[in-house]
Structure 1
């Protein structure tokens, strides 16, 4: 039996995580879910959206899966995701981007992976005010962080029979910080027998829109990874279907990467695909490859059939009906 920390989150989070639990349990994998509260409902009591008991639970169980959590914008509290990544040293953000037949999008046959450095860059949160005149954010890039994210990308490519790795940067302008990333990327790449190249981030954005099929594994610093992973999600149907994982040496947190969508909460119309796909990643991380494949195959059949899709996917099915359809195919 596995014990997994379950963080339902805010808005539609509790609904979609409930669906995910049902789908995972339908595979027969024996998981004990240790549910912990985080987000808006705990702020008043604990003065933080992520109390220490959440971190403690993840450290004990090593694996967690979470629904979306709302972070107040521009004031108050640090992002829950940033807090988790920094406290648990979850230095990899892994975002597979894959198109499904049956889901309307402008592209077909997309199968690429964004590997995003997760702990530094502008997201280190090192900021200060310059009087009333302005504010300054410090972009922190270190060689050890560059080495380990690039090593992860190349090992991932080798382990998953990927053909090519592309490093994304802005070293033409930020010659020291992004220059350090690029030079380290090339050093790491030279140790692997796999094709590699590099691309300036603005060119990467354009090329991903023009010819996304040309890319396989892409590795990059934090900010670029945040932006390009959402761009790529838009190529295959949006954040509602894309999974995500935050991985470190000791811990892993899998998540739905979309927002909490409070405007549709408790209406039984939310699409749980993103967190269900994240559970597929979680099962593979746990070594439960057969169960992961069962869910993946079931999703493909549901999308192909097209009769029980949620509203955002062009159908009329409720969350419960969509979930039951997946379980039927499992």
Structure 2
């Protein structure tokens, strides 16, 4: 069966890099590409930066290839992440042979929860010149990202180090740390 990929170029550099990414994918496999729009230009044309059809296409596809969003990024990226269940931001950092590196032994992978914390998108203006951002932490999302991190580490041969500020953000990062420790205990890590 051919995998369906929702292709959403978006704005700016997305319009340049997504077609090249599609060419690469086309060269290495058989995929059904289905295109949709999102972003600043889409908002100008339709009144919304993320049309329902785009969200539905992404939610029902096997994968989503998203480029970039400009000023409407918060109205596109966060809802798209929720629609497709993209909760883990995975960022490898590796030194490669033949490329100068301060630490040639570098081989790390950063895993960050992508839907909560400051990415919950809850902002307000208290008064002129004073704005707030509400950080959201749930036990379920903390455990979910911890399980993902431990699974990724086990599958790829990495150790797990948890970065947190539970000493200062006792309730939010405290809950996160509790969730990570519970998952570690369940797995004997």
Q: What interval of TM-score do these two structures reach, taking the shorter chain for normalisation?
A: 0.7 to 0.9
- What are structure 2's unaligned runs of at least 5 residues? none
Question: How far apart, in 1, do the equivalents of 2:52 and 2:32 lie?
Answer: 21
Aligned twin of 1:86: 82
Aligned twin of 1:182: 177
Q: How much does 1:126 deviate?
A: 2.0
Question: How far apart, in 2, do the equivalents of 1:181 and 1:23 lie?
Answer: 38
Aligned twin of 1:257: none
Question: In 1, are the aligned partners of 2:120 and 2:136 still within 8 Å (CA)?
Answer: yes
Question: How far apart, in 1, do the equivalents of 2:63 and 2:150 lie?
Answer: 23
| 3-state secondary structure, aligned to 2:58 | helix
Q: Which has the higher contact order (CA 8 A, sep 6+)?
A: 1
Rate the CA distance shift 1:128–1:11 in 2: closer, same or farther, 3 A.
Answer: closer
Q: How much does 1:21 deviate?
A: 2.0
Aligned twin of 2:111: 115
User: Could you report, residue by residue, the CA deviation over 1:103-147 in whole angstroms, capped at 9, with x for unpaired residues?
Assistant: 454332322111111111122122222233622222211111111
Question: In 2, are the aligned partners of 1:55 and 1:84 still within 8 Å (CA)?
Answer: yes
Rate the CA distance shift 1:4–1:110 in 2: closer, same or farther, 3 A.
Answer: same
Q: Does 1:36 align with 2:24?
A: no
Rate the CA distance shift 1:10–1:102 in 2: closer, same or farther, 3 A.
Answer: farther
Alignment of 1:1-330 (within 5 A): 1-27=2-28, 29-72=29-72, 78-132=74-128, 134-162=130-158, 164-194=159-189
Question: How far apart, in 1, do the equivalents of 2:13 and 2:135 lie?
Answer: 34
Rate the CA distance shift 1:123–1:32 in 2: closer, same or farther, 3 A.
Answer: same
Question: In 1, are the aligned partners of 2:58 and 2:83 still within 8 Å (CA)?
Answer: no
- What are structure 1's unaligned runs of at least 5 residues? 195-330
Task: List structure 1 runs of 4+ shifted beyond 3 angstroms.
Answer: 101-107
What RMSD, in angstroms, separates the aligned Cα atoms of the two structures?
2.0
User: Could you report, residue by residue, the CA deviation over 1:235-294 in whole angstroms, capped at 9, with x for unpaired residues?
Assistant: xxxxxxxxxxxxxxxxxxxxxxxxxxxxxxxxxxxxxxxxxxxxxxxxxxxxxxxxxxxx
Question: In 2, are the aligned partners of 1:71 and 1:80 still within 8 Å (CA)?
Answer: no
Question: How far apart, in 2, do the equivalents of 1:187 and 1:64 lie?
Answer: 32
Question: How far apart, in 2, do the equivalents of 1:54 and 1:97 lie?
Answer: 32
Q: How much does 1:158 deviate?
A: 1.5
Rate the CA distance shift 1:39–1:128 in 2: closer, same or farther, 3 A.
Answer: closer
Aligned twin of 1:282: none
Question: How far apart, in 2, do the equivalents of 1:135 and 1:115 lie?
Answer: 28
| 3-state secondary structure, aligned to 2:91 | strand
